[in-house]
Structure 1
């Protein structure tokens, strides 16, 4: 991409090429890391849902197209955001640009500085069986054309340093995974999935359960370390998730989704499970890895 520049030569708009990873389950794309130093304090994240031809003025931010295509115009220069060729596009501090959705509309993830003053915490959205301690499920605030994912002013349980987007096909199962160090923050943007949860922390006695999440009812779930989780997708889906530590393979553990001792109540048989997840060990081996 050709960056738009100010008269002093500094870039008004710049971009970082992202790399989608595709397999038979879908597509994984890393959207943002704090350590990339893109020049924006991304303390608030939301999704901009733009209909065909819709325009919106945006200030200093990091923008990534998750679906569709949009054009970003600043000082006569045009930059294209495409989900099929993803970039993390940065609008520099103090600058503004015009964002316009192309044919078919666009779904844009936006990271930007948070505003001034505290915001109230979001109330719990779950009235089913008791969730494991530290697991929080909340309804997300919506405005016309946008959906708030995260705002540090609400004192959220997870402070993201990395955001990812994942597309999954109907019948795909991902997991079961568990982390000893990092927490997850996850939202289903489109489609629907069954989220399986099992508390494996020492001294807990919590029965596994499944929670259905849907893009028609936008919610965010926070999953702390030590709580095993898996995802069974009920239709073609897109979800975004954040972590509070940069991805580390040493913090990736798991067990088979159908471990008889785990006894996760999926209720459905998956159509696709990755070779990596099929090769996971038993629940007993996972517990040993977490405590070892």
Structure 2
């Protein structure tokens, strides 16, 4: 099999390590193969593929979507990024728990976060490109976010934030979102 799954300590949030086939010309990777993802217990329905290019210090996130529920697999294509996922599934024993890891373009790796997780990253190099496999199409009417610097999450962002979207700057804390009208759309 060309995919090895590594657990993260939060149920359903996993790292999918891809097999690399080096030769004198460089290397080859299968980035996605449905049968291998299925055998590893990973989602195989890809409805949308997104990419972002960010400069050093830019923070994107923490975002999620509930209708249709959207899982995402993220990988760094160029540069380095500090990738974060937060469990926002109501009733989950790991609700509110954040996970993070620095990832680089040289790693054949997907960070796979199921629906019910807020996801985001910070660019750590001048040109950082991140690619996302999404299991459902984007729906702006059912998207949400939590504040990237919510102190309750304890995320140790590695460098000062250089740029944020207006939407990310105005995002609620996890407690504020949980108390709002959509705070229980994800259940464990």
Fold match by TM threshold 0.5: yes
Per-residue CA distance 1:24-66 (angstroms, 9 max, x = gap):
xxxxxxxxxxxxxxxxxxxxxxxxxxxxxxxxxxxxxxxxxxx
Aligned counterparts of 1:164 and 1:261: Cα–Cα separation in 2: 29
Q: Secondary structure at the match of 1:132?
A: coil
Aligned counterparts of 1:241 and 1:200: Cα–Cα separation in 2: 19
User: Does 1:149 find its partner at 2:31?
Assistant: yes
Aligned counterparts of 2:171 and 2:19: Cα–Cα separation in 1: 37
Q: Secondary structure at the match of 1:261?
A: helix
Name stretches of at least 5 consecutive residues in structure 1 with no aligned partner.
Answer: 1-119
TM-score scaled by length of structure 1: 0.54
1:39-58 mapped onto 2 (5 Å cutoff): none
Two-structure CA RMSD over aligned residues (Å):
2.0
Displacement of 1:183 in angstroms is 0.5
Q: Which residue of 2 aligns with 1:291?
A: 184
Q: Which has the higher contact order (CA 8 A, sep 6+)?
A: 2
User: Does 1:123 find its partner at 2:123?
Assistant: no
User: Does 1:172 find its partner at 2:58?
Assistant: yes
* Range 143-152 or range 248-257, more displaced: 143-152
Aligned counterparts of 2:146 and 2:111: Cα–Cα separation in 1: 21
Is residue 209–residue 265 contact of structure 1 (8 Å, CA) maintained in 2?
no
Query: Which contiguous aligned blocks of 4+ residues in structure 1 show a shift greater than 6 angstroms?
Result: none
Q: Which residue of 2 aligns with 1:208?
A: 98
Q: Which residue of 1 aligns with 2:111?
A: 221
Is residue 194–residue 211 contact of structure 1 (8 Å, CA) maintained in 2?
yes
- Equivalent of residue 17 in structure 2, options 114, 117, 139: 139
Q: Which residue of 1 aligns with 2:169?
A: 278
User: Does 1:269 find its partner at 2:154?
Assistant: no
Aligned CA distance change for structure 1 residues 133 and 179 (closer, same or farther; 3 Å)? farther
Name stretches of at least 5 consecutive residues in structure 2 with no aligned partner.
Answer: none
**Structure richer in strand, relative to its length:** 1
Aligned counterparts of 1:136 and 1:209: Cα–Cα separation in 2: 10
- Equivalent of residue 233 in structure 1, options 123, 134, 139: 123
Aligned counterparts of 1:197 and 1:148: Cα–Cα separation in 2: 24
**Structure richer in helix, relative to its length:** 2
Aligned counterparts of 1:290 and 1:151: Cα–Cα separation in 2: 34
Displacement of 1:176 in angstroms is 1.2
Task: Report which of the two structures shows the higher radius of gyration computed on alpha carbons.
Answer: 1
Q: Which residue of 1 aligns with 2:133?
A: 242
Displacement of 1:125 in angstroms is 4.2
Paired residues in the alignment total 170
Displacement of 1:145 in angstroms is 4.8
Aligned counterparts of 2:93 and 2:101: Cα–Cα separation in 1: 18
Q: Secondary structure at the match of 1:245?
A: coil
Aligned counterparts of 1:168 and 1:242: Cα–Cα separation in 2: 18
Aligned counterparts of 2:158 and 2:129: Cα–Cα separation in 1: 22
Aligned counterparts of 1:122 and 1:147: Cα–Cα separation in 2: 10
Displacement of 1:223 in angstroms is 0.8
